[in-house]
Chain A
Amino acid sequence: MKNVFIVAGLAIFLSMGIIHHIPCAEAKEKVLRIGMAKEPAKLNPVFIPGIYGEAVAGNIFDTLVSYKENASMPTPLLASKWEISEDGKEYTFHLREDVKFHNNEKLTAKDVKFTLEAIMDTANASPSKEFFEPVERIETDGDFIIKLHLKNPYAPLMLALGSHTAGIMPADHVKQVGMDAFDSHPVGTGPFIFVEWLPDERIVLKKNPGYFLAEPAIDKVIFRPIPKPEVMAAEIESGGIDIAQNLLPQDISRLEKEGNLNVMTIAGLGNSYLGFSYKKAPFSDPRFRKAVYHAVPFDAAIKGIWKGVGERSYSWIPDGVFPFDTEYMKSRALPHDKEKAEEYFNELKKEGILQDGFEFSIYTSQNPHRVKIATVVATELRKYGLKAKVESLEWGTLFPILKNDSGCYIMGWGSVPDPDRWTYKIFHSGSTMNFSKYELPEIDEALDLGRSLVSSKQRGEQYIKVMRKALGEDYIHIPLVFKSVTVVTGKNIEGFTPSPQDYFHLVTEKRNVTVN
């Protein structure tokens, strides 16, 4: 026992003395270390349920078309060109002929067919299945042409194909190993080859020297889950990682002063909102919702809470996504006005819809910003004799509560830049994510039209209609904030820019990130 101590003590001292050797030993190999707030749940594109998996998969897999550089216009990736028929029901993609999977198999149309069918196969229970719902059948024409036949025109299809959850998998290989085993050892065509995944510790990728766009400039990428944002900040500050995301506002302002770091902030594609029930009294009374809007100083509160990591929002559709209707939506926001709030609440009390001392919970996730704004709302409402309390729950517990009409809640959403993805699941009457149980035939109709129309202008009109009605008239939600994405990188990282969806794109047609 004694010896162990002595050895351990000695080793600690020695290691402190020779730390400077370690960076030198690794200098030959260009390694990029990325800190992630959470570990991906899955790496098999068909199974990926959220952004962390997509962020990693985006570097292992390629999609038919790419939105990596321009979030609103598809650019060629695996498909070099494509045609869409007049009626919008037939998509033809011509594949590149020089693409190989990491296991040296050649990419052909049958791999694409297999992948898309795997997403649509009910047995796989893919979270992305519904984005391919309008697809009727897929056929291959030779080795390099693939055709998608749709039941009806469906504008968001290209986005679905460009999403990392539609990364093309090698058909023969997956059939051989099975979907589950493929999840822990993914094989794609992307710029990086999967090496290992040590849960809670790291995911390692190495470069694919034969990548068809360009040979990646980095030899190795390490993704490390770092659950504590304070520690993430310390890691980037001390040089333990090269790219950090999901930092706290106070850490960001400190890191900005740091000389050897780049702090990059862009508008993101995520929001937070305060939602009310459409069915349950007193929340179902529009006057109650307006009263809450008047009662809480949202502008000031949001500025304080999301300082530097988000901007006040007035609609569900962020500025980077069409249609642009911010001016109108802004004019429909209600100002902080205690008298008006008092007036509405008194009216409701007189009519017996609201009892004095009414007790209710504001349900929210464990996102610290949302918990804070929920606390602000609850505190302000106490001044009007409403006893609101904040219940911050983890997802597994929260989701069933929200699904069963919770009354009042603060939640968020994040998606690709297409208005359909931003509205359909939230406002359509039958959708699981419609926590407010909002139900209006005209809204459903507009949302369905928005899916099947093809021209952006006509589609835009439908979404303007939905937003103006739901948020500008019914006040079914109070939009709170569009979050921005802040990524901090070391000065030695070249060519990296953040993505609005928290992805880490390293090699695209326009960039090849490197470490100096």
Chain B
Amino acid sequence: MLNYTIRRLLLLIPLLFFISVMIFGILKLTPGDPAVVLLGERATEEALELTREKYALNSPFYVQYVKMMGNFFTGELKSIYYKENVIMVVLKKMIPTLELGLTALMLAIAVSIPAGIISSVKRNSIFDYTSMTTALFGISIPVFFTGILLIYLFAVKLKVLPASGYGGSMFTIEGLRHLVMPAFVLSFTMMASTTRITRSSMLDLLQEDYIRTARAKGVKENQVILKHAFKNALMPIATNVGNQIARLFAGAVLTETVFAWPGVGRLAVNAIFRRDEPLVFGCVLILSVIYVVVNLMVDLFYGIINPRIRYE
């Protein structure tokens, strides 16, 4: 397992090289001049030229690429906009992002796994139909619609929650109050896939022979469902949740925009609009590393939930 982990981590190097070339290429293919965006509508040609020089936007692409990579690894890659090390810029936004993402994910798991299990056990019941329809709504209704609906209800009409913004750490009351709505809205979109996957893998398993055997030897129904069936259904669920965890680090742009939440998603999108090339580059690289590492952790987790899996 140690060998496997090391090998996977070593594979990161060529992968990141590939990603960095890709992202740099896309950046350079994107129309728009960072200097123009930075200086705004009033800029003169002279000022533009100076800014291009300042950020080395005039040198050949390979020179720019090598410089960017070099700066990234020495920790000197600075955002044009924030004038700060890109790693620091991203890390600062990581706290609100993770607070929002993890809370939403926990909410989603807390609702969708039980809902999926009950749906599979009481197949074609009213509960099953209701939860499947709700899941369908969750995945189809855009966040800016549910978000604004909730804001209108809870902030404008009932006046129990703040409409938007970040209230500080989630372990303070103000922080938590600001977190409730965005986390709920985001979790709504996550619930759908987990519920459906839980339901379908449970349905498959509940028809297996060993389940019938368990029931026949008198195991309680609860035990049959949770221990015999659900434990085996965990594999696809873990894959799904793992994917969601990895994606969560990149932030949720729509939710963050609606709720004016200062997260990584908004940071990255704003960086693209501002043509803050170093920040886009650094941001995507950091997120790629996280994505790959989280996926690796999920793979290793398989070994824990299913001891039959061995890493060679």
List residues of chain A with CB under 8 Å of any chain B CB. 4-5, 8, 11-12, 14-16, 18-19, 22, 41, 49-50, 122-123, 125-130, 180-181, 183-184, 198-202, 224-228, 230-231, 234-235, 237-240, 394-397, 399-401, 432-433
Q: Does B273 contact A (CB under 8 A)?
A: yes
Interface residues of B in 176-210 (CB under 8 A from A): 176-177, 180
Contact A234 B33 (CB under 8 A): no
Q: Which residue of B lies closest to A366 (CB)?
A: B273
Segment among B15-23, B148-156, B288-296 that sits at the interface with chain A = B148-156
Give Cα A62–Cα B93 distance, bound, in whole angstroms: 33
What would be 18 A-B contacts, judged by CB atoms less than 8 Å apart?
A12-B176, A41-B38, A41-B81, A122-B47, A125-B46, A125-B50, A130-B44, A198-B262, A199-B262, A228-B148, A231-B260, A234-B148, A238-B159, A394-B273, A395-B273, A396-B31, A396-B33, A400-B32
Give Cα A202–Cα B159 distance, bound, in whole angstroms: 22
| A-side contacts of B83, CB under 8 Å | 180-181, 183-184
Contact A8 B31 (CB under 8 A): no
Interface centre among A18, A19, A128, A184 (most CB of B within 10 A): A19
Q: Using a Cβ cutoff of 8 Å, how many contacts connect chains A and B?
A: 157
Interface centre among A14, A125, A184, A227 (most CB of B within 10 A): A125
Q: Does B301 contact A (CB under 8 A)?
A: no
Contact A234 B155 (CB under 8 A): yes
Give Cα A8–Cα B187 distance, bound, in whole angstroms: 15
Segment among B68-76, B161-169, B302-310 that sits at the interface with chain A = B161-169
Contact B40 A127 (CB under 8 A): yes
Contact B160 A231 (CB under 8 A): no
Q: Which residue of A lies closest to B258 (CB)?
A: A228
Interface centre among B81, B106, B162, B165 (most CB of A within 10 A): B165
Interface centre among B40, B50, B266, B273 (most CB of A within 10 A): B40
| B-side contacts of A397, CB under 8 Å | 30-32
A181 to chain B, nearest CB (A): 8
B272 to chain A, nearest CB (A): 9
Contact B155 A201 (CB under 8 A): no
Among all A-B residue pairs, the 10 with the closest Cβ atoms: A49-B40, A396-B32, A125-B47, A200-B262, A238-B155, A127-B42, A201-B262, A234-B163, A396-B37, A235-B163
Q: A231-B148, A235-B163, A400-B33 are in contact. Are A432 and B81 (CB under 8 A)?
A: no
Q: Which residue of B lies closest to A415 (CB)?
A: B42
Q: Which residue of B lies closest to A396 (CB)?
A: B32
Q: Does B45 contact A (CB under 8 A)?
A: yes
| B-side contacts of A122, CB under 8 Å | 46-47, 50
| A-side contacts of B36, CB under 8 Å | 395-396, 399-400
Contact B39 A127 (CB under 8 A): yes
Q: Which residue of A lies closest to B89 (CB)?
A: A199
| B-side contacts of A22, CB under 8 Å | 173-174
- Size band of the B side of the interface? 35 or more
Q: A180-B83, A224-B260, A234-B155 are in contact. Are A49 and B39 (CB under 8 A)?
A: yes
Give Cα A338–Cα B103 distance, bound, in whole angstroms: 59
| B-side contacts of A184, CB under 8 Å | 83
Q: Does B137 contact A (CB under 8 A)?
A: no
| B-side contacts of A123, CB under 8 Å | 50
| B-side contacts of A230, CB under 8 Å | 148, 151
Q: Does B125 contact A (CB under 8 A)?
A: no
A416 to chain B, nearest CB (A): 12
Give Cα A399–Cα B259 distance, bound, in whole angstroms: 29
Q: A183-B83, A234-B163, A238-B163 are in contact. Are A18 and B173 (CB under 8 A)?
A: yes
| B-side contacts of A396, CB under 8 Å | 30-34, 36-37, 273-275
Q: A19-B160, A240-B165 are in contact. Are A200 and B31 (CB under 8 A)?
A: no
Known: A5-B106, A8-B106, A399-B36. 8 other contacts (CB 8 A): A49-B41, A227-B257, A228-B144, A230-B148, A238-B155, A238-B156, A238-B159, A395-B32
Q: A15-B176, A396-B31, A399-B36 are in contact. Are A238 and B162 (CB under 8 A)?
A: yes
Interface centre among A4, A49, A180, A401 (most CB of B within 10 A): A49
Question: Could you tell me the dominant secondary structure of chain A's interface residues?
Answer: helix
Q: Does B283 contact A (CB under 8 A)?
A: no
A348 to chain B, nearest CB (A): 31
Q: Does B26 contact A (CB under 8 A)?
A: no
Q: A234-B156, A400-B36 are in contact. Are A240 and B43 (CB under 8 A)?
A: no
Give Cα A130–Cα B45 distance, bound, in whole angstroms: 11
Give Cα A41–Cα B38 distance, bound, in whole angstroms: 8
Give Cα A130–Cα B40 distance, bound, in whole angstroms: 14
Q: Which residue of A lies closest to B263 (CB)?
A: A200
B143 to chain A, nearest CB (A): 11
Q: Does B9 contact A (CB under 8 A)?
A: no
A355 to chain B, nearest CB (A): 28
Contact A201 B43 (CB under 8 A): no
A147 to chain B, nearest CB (A): 26
B99 to chain A, nearest CB (A): 11
Give Cα A22–Cα B176 distance, bound, in whole angstroms: 13
Q: Which residue of B lies closest to A235 (CB)?
A: B163
| A-side contacts of B34, CB under 8 Å | 396
Contact B39 A125 (CB under 8 A): yes
| B-side contacts of A231, CB under 8 Å | 148, 151, 163-164, 258-260
Q: Which residue of A lies closest to B177 (CB)?
A: A15
Give Cα A239–Cα B161 distance, bound, in whole angstroms: 11
Give Cα A17–Cα B247 distance, bound, in whole angstroms: 34
| B-side contacts of A130, CB under 8 Å | 42, 44
| A-side contacts of B262, CB under 8 Å | 198-201
Q: Does B270 contact A (CB under 8 A)?
A: yes
Contact A200 B42 (CB under 8 A): no
Q: Does B244 contact A (CB under 8 A)?
A: no
Interface residues of B in 234-271 (CB under 8 A from A): 257-260, 262-263, 266-267, 270
Contact B148 A11 (CB under 8 A): no
Interface centre among B33, B44, B106 (most CB of A within 10 A): B44
Contact A240 B162 (CB under 8 A): yes
| A-side contacts of B267, CB under 8 Å | 199-200
B146 to chain A, nearest CB (A): 13
Q: Choose one: A15, A129, A239, A401; the contact of B173 (CB below 8 Å).
A: A15
Give Cα A267–Cα B148 distance, bound, in whole angstroms: 30
B136 to chain A, nearest CB (A): 25
Q: Does B82 contact A (CB under 8 A)?
A: yes
Contact B176 A11 (CB under 8 A): yes
Q: Which residue of B lies closest to A393 (CB)?
A: B31
Give Cα A99–Cα B39 distance, bound, in whole angstroms: 31
Q: Choose one: A8, A198, A200; the contact of B266 (CB below 8 Å).
A: A200
B35 to chain A, nearest CB (A): 9
Give Cα A12–Cα B160 distance, bound, in whole angstroms: 11
Contact A226 B260 (CB under 8 A): yes
Q: Which residue of B lies closest to A227 (CB)?
A: B257
| A-side contacts of B43, CB under 8 Å | 49, 125, 127, 432
Q: A11-B173, A238-B156 are in contact. Are A50 and B163 (CB under 8 A)?
A: no
Give Cα A12–Cα B177 distance, bound, in whole angstroms: 7
Q: Choose one: A8, A19, A234, A399; the contact of B177 (CB below 8 Å).
A: A19
